[in-house]
């Protein structure tokens, strides 16, 4: 079992980068944020427990996150290659992920740290719009839909995530900055960390990561 982690602040482009890597390498995209939003949407017990933390821009307790991820790994028979997005976010989550992978004879191969200045993250999040039907991402300035409020792909209605409001964005970025240093240091010490400049276009970040995952010449044999 192989696994990579996409580490980065809200707005760093983890979701878009994950889409690109999924298309190129077939990694299974595991986004704890998406899993939680789905649980909230379905009104499950996990959703009820998580919702107040998410609305406030705070971290959902480690116990809930650990359970979610383990259930997913237990139910997945493919022995897939995993790409974790927005997980782990705390040191206890990082330790639990290691234990989880080890129990399945797997390991973490790389942690890609998507790095961008805070002002850019704020403007990306404030302008982000998402299709309620297919989940496609847009931006009011950078990635405009052809018709205002309507998805180009499926004609679905675009909405703003409630936690992308200006006030909650600032809390989320502060929460992220509080914990990021520990994780960056932890994975740096284990020589797993690769820093990626994600202030550029998403395809540039994907290309950088692809060159690490598939070094030049790797296709020749």
The answer to whether 124 contacts ligand AMP (rule: CB under 6 A) is no
The rounded distance, in Å, linking the Cα atoms of 44 and 143 is: 33
Ordered alpha helix ranges (H), 56-165 = 62-75, 91-103, 118-127
Query: Minimum Å distance from CB 154 to ligand AMP?
Result: 21
Query: How many chain residues bind ligand AMP (CB under 6 A)?
Result: 17
**Helical axes 118-127 vs 166-189, angle rounded to 10°:** 130
User: Looking at beta carbons only, is 13 or 57 nearer to ligand AMP?
Assistant: 57
28 class by beta-carbon count within 10 Å (0-12 exposed, 13-18 middle, 19+ buried) = middle
From residue 174 to residue 193, the character string flagging contacts with ligand AMP as x (rule: CB under 6 A) and all else as - is: --------------------
Contacts (CB under 6 A) with ligand AMP, residues 1-60:
10, 32-33, 36, 53-54, 57-60
Contacts (CB under 6 A) with ligand AMP, residues 61-100:
65, 86-87, 89, 93
Question: Has 157 been annotated as catalytic?
Answer: no
Query: Minimum Å distance from CB 146 to ligand AMP?
Result: 26
Query: Minimum Å distance from CB 163 to ligand AMP?
Result: 6
Q: Among 96, 124, 128, 129, which one carries the catalytic annotation?
A: 128
Closest alpha carbon to 62 in 49, 80, 48: 49
Question: Has 104 been annotated as catalytic?
Answer: no
Query: Minimum Å distance from CB 36 to ligand AMP?
Result: 5
Closest alpha carbon to 125 in 33, 2, 215: 33
Secondary structure (3-state) at 134: coil
Backbone φ/ψ region at 59: left (φ over 0), alpha (ψ -120 to 50), beta: beta
CA distances from 156 to 34, 136, 151, 159 (A): 18, 9, 5, 10
Q: Which residues bind ligand AMP (CB under 6 A)?
A: 10, 32-33, 36, 53-54, 57-60, 65, 86-87, 89, 93, 163, 172
Which residues are the active-site residues? 14, 89, 128, 161, 172
């Amino acid at each position: 079992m192989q696994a990579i982690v996409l580490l980065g602040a809200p707005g760093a482009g983890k979701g878009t980068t994950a889409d690109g890597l999924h298309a190129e390498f077939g990694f299974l995209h595991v986004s704890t944020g998406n899993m939680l939003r789905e649980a909230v949407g379905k009104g499950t017990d996990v959703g009820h427990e998580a919702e107040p933390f998410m609305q406030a821009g705070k971290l959902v307790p480690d116990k809930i996150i650990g359970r979610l991820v383990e259930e997913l790994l237990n139910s997945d028979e493919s022995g897939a290659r995993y790409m974790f997005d927005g997980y782990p976010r705390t040191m206890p989550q990082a330790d639990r992920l290691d234990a989880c992978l080890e129990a399945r004879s797997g390991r973490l191969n790389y942690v890609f740290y998507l790095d961008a200045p805070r002002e850019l993250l704020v403007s990306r999040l404030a302008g982000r719009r998402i299709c309620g039907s297919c989940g496609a991402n847009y931006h009011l300035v950078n990635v405009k839909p052809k018709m205002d409020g309507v998805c180009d792909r499926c004609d679905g209605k675009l909405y703003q995530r409630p936690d992308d409001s200006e006030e909650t964005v600032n809390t989320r970025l502060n929460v992220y900055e509080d914990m990021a240093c520990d994780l960056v240091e932890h994975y740096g010490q284990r020589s797993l960390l690769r820093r990626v400049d994600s202030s550029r276009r998403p395809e540039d970040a994907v290309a950088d990561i692809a060159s690490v995952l598939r070094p030049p010449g790797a296709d020749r044999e």
